Every structure is written in structure tokens, then in C-alpha cells.
Amino acid sequence: MTDTGPVGPQTEPTAASRTLSRETERWQALVDILYLSQLFVLYVCSALYPFFGLLYGILFLTGSISAKAKKVGRVCLILGIINLALCLAVGIGILLLGLTGVLAGLSQD
């Protein structure tokens, strides 16, 4: 009598199928590494360049179907907004410091 499982007879995996599964696993690991490196580049560019983050954030949020891509777009958009706010604050601070120095120089004359 043969050993039958709930679906049918159980067979041992062959060497070819084990090799195929190892190759598939290696390819999946490579795809995961490439995906993570792409995310890293997107996040770093979003943190360094505010318009890059805003552009890609809006593109991913509005143009993607998957929830994973929308999450990436949301993170890029948030990083872009934070960076834009910081750049504006630093720019306004430098402008105010420059104007203060000019006004102080004018009042001494």
C-alpha cells in the first residue's frame, strides 16, 4: 500500500527540483537586495533634494496600484516636505542675518 496524503501520493523531491528551488531562492534574494537598494537610493535622494522627494512621492502615491508602492511614495513625500521646510527655514535665517548686518552697518554711518 502506498503512502497517500490528503491530495494524493507523496513523492520525494528529486535532485533537479531541489537545485531549481535553490536557484529560485537565490534569484529571489537578488531581487530583494536590488529592491532594498532602490529604496535606499529613493529615500536618500528624497532627503537630500526636496523636489525629488515631492515629485516621486506624488508619482508613487497617485500612479501606483500596490499598497507597498504607495507606502514608499508616502515616505518620499514626507522626506521631501521635511527637507523643503528645512531649506526654507535656513534660507530665511540666512536672509535675516544678512539683512540685520546690512541694517546695522547703515545705522552706524
pLDDT at 91 over 90: yes
- For 42, counting Cβ atoms within 10 Å of its Cβ (0-12 exposed, 13-18 middle, 19+ buried), the class is buried
User: pLDDT category, 78, cuts 50, 70, 90?
Assistant: very high
Element holding 50 (H helix, E strand): helix 50-63
pLDDT, tens digit (0-9, with 9 covering 90-100), for 29-64 = 888 888 888 889 998 998 888 899 999 889 988 888
Task: Give percent of the chain above pLDDT 90.
Answer: 26
Cβ proximity of 33 and 52 under 8 Å: no
- Flag whether the pTM goes above 0.85: no
Give me the amino acid identity at 61.
Answer: L
Compute CA distances 13 → 38, 60, 92, 97, whole Å: 36, 42, 68, 74
pLDDT, tens digit (0-9, with 9 covering 90-100), for 95-109 = 998 888 777 777 775
User: pLDDT category, 4, cuts 50, 70, 90?
Assistant: low
pLDDT at 70 over 80: yes
